[in-house]
């Protein structure tokens, strides 16, 4: 961003005071590294910010001069390192408003999470890190605090970024958008082996990357591999992010303390072993992302669901539909039948506490819009064109129909207007009306669901494929408005009277350099649920 390292080191004045939430406080028994010297740049994973509030934001980086070291330590010693940080009103850091020192501890992979407060609402700031004993300076990031008054807000949402199946060209285009924040809905990494040549990336990695992740070191290195991508780094540097996980941050289709059937490598029902795997996955997730202290995991437990407010315009309810759900019925997969099992009223997708938290929160929000950051498709999705057969995905809300009914009925009975759901997971884009009864065409529309496609998972996409053709066959899913199977992200603009979604797609991802275009645009008018295509 136009700064030299020498220029940064020459600026020492004008610092302020911030209130810190240092995740490292009191956690390390390791001695400090008094005068760190690195064999390579300690900031190759870039910088990031997240979870913006009206008075502050989380700043993140991780020291890792050897980011893919087999032991998962990033080339760092078993010692604590002090890292200086600054946040300024201008890109050249002539007006530094806050600064301080954070401890990067080995117990947390030498990651740094600084919770800065005392900032002005609704404005841009620039931030950076450095290790004071040497000439080691991070890239510069830009962030934005949440507004206290707002006539408009613009965000983008994305999900599913399988590194070896495609390049992150979509993130390069996303970084060039004019946004207030980015919402990531899960599958930030994939636990599978990356293949002998790193898939389309054409890179040879050691044997630890050829197998499924199991340990903390392997999860750390998988995150580091993804974070080395320059396009992903650019998107993190450009905006604050709000993140939640889906399944592949741990393993495919996990459910609470239950591993995936027949592919987990653990004896059936070995909860303790799977919780050990989860603990490593959760810790690596926290170590590599700009999350606040309440989202720091405690072993295999972590409260990731939370909400963020953007003036009186929008309340964002961030969900976790993995950690508390019941196991998938009928052996998981996409199947017909299982109606009694999937409609069992005792089954839950969110868990009782989160379900109550959500319904109470949308009722009390007092904002023009309630937006749910959700993982798997809520809308009923029949995969079978035969009107006498219903085939559904049992990992989605179709496998938890009583829980879905409680959610949609709860929104309806509480009179929650202007509710919109942002969804990931399915590697395709779908716009759907969420109805009290999907089988009754006259049933009221409770909310609108915008499901977004993947960044790269699934490789090159097409506007329509066989899967989409079945979904969109007349009469099969009449509550579906639109479908597309290309890769990309979705930009959402909000004001008091409408919410607009622009589906931005790239023609290909298996080679770099694709252009971007808008495949379709939709608007939801205030007090009129359901999306209208523009």
pLDDT at 413 over 80: yes
pLDDT value, residue 268: 60
- Domain range for 14: 1-146
Residue-wise pLDDT tens digits, 309-338: 999 999 999 999 999 999 999 999 999 989
Whether residues 173 and 285 fall in one domain: yes
The C-alpha atoms of residue 125 and residue 116 are separated, in whole angstroms, by 11
Collapsing DSSP to helix, strand or coil, 403 comes out as: helix
pLDDT value, residue 133: 74
C-alpha pair distances (Å), 389 with each of 383, 386, 392, 469: 9, 5, 10, 16
Collapsing DSSP to helix, strand or coil, 480 comes out as: strand
Number of domains in the chain: 2
| Domain boundary pick from 114, 146, 178 | 146
What mean pLDDT do residues 409-428 have?
96
Whether residues 173 and 124 fall in one domain: no
Whether residues 85 and 51 fall in one domain: yes
Whether residues 112 and 230 fall in one domain: no
pLDDT at 357 over 80: yes
The residues near 147 (Cβ < 8 Å, ≥ 6 apart) are 54, 121, 122, 153, 310, 311, 313
Whether residues 127 and 202 fall in one domain: no
Whether residues 242 and 358 fall in one domain: yes
The C-alpha atoms of residue 238 and residue 241 are separated, in whole angstroms, by 9
The answer for 340, left when phi > 0, alpha when psi is -120 to 50, beta otherwise, is alpha
Whether residues 8 and 127 fall in one domain: yes
What CATH number is associated with residue 457? 3.60.21.70
% of the chain with per-residue pLDDT over 90:
85
Whether residues 140 and 248 fall in one domain: no
H or E segment and range at residue 57: strand 57-62
**What's the mean per-residue pLDDT of the chain?**
92
The residues near 286 (Cβ < 8 Å, ≥ 6 apart) are 108, 111, 295, 296, 297, 302
pLDDT tier, 262 (very low <50, low <70, confident <90, very high otherwise):
low
pLDDT tier, 3 (very low <50, low <70, confident <90, very high otherwise):
very low
Whether residues 113 and 182 fall in one domain: no
Whether residues 229 and 269 fall in one domain: yes
CA angle 511, 514, 515 (to 5 degrees): 175
What CATH number is associated with residue 125? 2.60.40.380
Whether residues 73 and 204 fall in one domain: no
| Domain boundary pick from 146, 166, 183 | 146
pLDDT at 209 over 50: yes
| Domain boundary pick from 119, 146, 173 | 146
Residue-wise pLDDT tens digits, 28-72: 667 777 777 888 999 999 999 999 999 999 999 999 999 999 999
Whether residues 76 and 221 fall in one domain: no
pLDDT at 5 over 60: no
Q: What's the predicted TM-score (pTM) here?
A: 0.94
């Amino acid at each position: 961003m136009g700064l030299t390292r020498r220029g940064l080191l020459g600026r020492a004045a004008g610092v302020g005071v911030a209130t810190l939430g240092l995740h490292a406080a009191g956690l390390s028994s390791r001695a400090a590294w008094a005068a760190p010297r690195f064999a390579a740049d300690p900031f190759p994973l870039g910088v990031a910010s997240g979870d913006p509030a009206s008075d502050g934001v989380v700043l993140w980086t991780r020291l890792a001069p050897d980011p893919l070291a087999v032991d998962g330590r990033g080339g760092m010693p078993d010692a604590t390192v002090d890292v200086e940080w600054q946040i300024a009103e201008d890109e050249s850091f002539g007006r530094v408003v806050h600064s301080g020192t954070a401890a990067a501890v080995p117990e947390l992979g030498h990651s740094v999470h600084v919770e800065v407060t005392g900032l002005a609402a609704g404005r841009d700031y620039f931030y950076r890190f450095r290790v004071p004993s040497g000439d080691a300076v991070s890239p510069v990031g830009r962030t934005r605090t949440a507004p206290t008054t707002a006539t408009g807000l613009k965000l983008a949402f994305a999900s599913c970024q399988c590194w070896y199946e495609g390049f992150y060209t979509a993130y390069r285009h996303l970084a060039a958008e004019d946004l207030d924040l980015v919402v990531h809905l899960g599958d930030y990494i994939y636990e599978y082996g990356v293949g002998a040549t790193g898939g389309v990336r054409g890179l040879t990695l050691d044997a630890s990357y050829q197998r499924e992740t199991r340990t903390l070191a392997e999860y750390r290195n998988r995150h580091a591999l993804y974070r080395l991508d320059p396009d992903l780094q650019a998107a993190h540097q450009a905006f604050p992010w709000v993140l939640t996980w889906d399944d592949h941050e741990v393993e495919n289709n996990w459910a609470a303390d239950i591993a995936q059937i027949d592919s987990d490598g653990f004896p059936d029902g070995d909860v303790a072993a799977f919780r050990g795997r989860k603990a490593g996955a959760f810790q690596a997730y926290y170590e590599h992302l700009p999350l606040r202290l309440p989202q720091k995991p405690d072993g295999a437990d972590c409260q990731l669901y939370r909400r963020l407010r953007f003036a009186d315009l929008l309340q964002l309810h961030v969900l976790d539909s993995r950690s508390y759900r019941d196991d998938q019925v009928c052996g998981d997969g996409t199947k017909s039948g299982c109606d009694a099992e999937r409609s069992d009223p005792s089954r839950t997708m969110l868990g009782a506490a989160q379900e109550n938290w959500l319904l109470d929160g949308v009722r009390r929000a007092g904002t023009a819009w309630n937006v749910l950051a959700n993982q798997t498709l809520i809308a009923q999705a029949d995969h079978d064109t035969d009107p006498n057969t219903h085939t559904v995905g049992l990992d989605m809300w179709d496998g938890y129909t009583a829980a879905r009914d409680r959610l949609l009925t709860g929104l309806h009975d509480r009179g929650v207007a202007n509710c919109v759901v942002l969804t990931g997971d399915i590697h395709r884009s779908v716009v759907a009306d969420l109805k009290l009864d999907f089988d009754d065409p006259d049933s009221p529309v409770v909310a609108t669901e915008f499901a977004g496609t993947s960044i790269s998972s699934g490789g090159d996409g097409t506007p329509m494929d066989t899967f989409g053709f079945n979904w969109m066959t007349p009469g099969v899913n009449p509550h579906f408005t639109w479908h597309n199977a290309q890769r990309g992200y979705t930009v959402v603009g909000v004001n008091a009277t409408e919410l607009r979604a622009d589906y931005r797609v790239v023609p290909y991802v298996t080679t770099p350099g694709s252009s971007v275009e808008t495949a379709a645009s939709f608007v939801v008018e205030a007090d009129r649920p359901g999306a209208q295509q523009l």
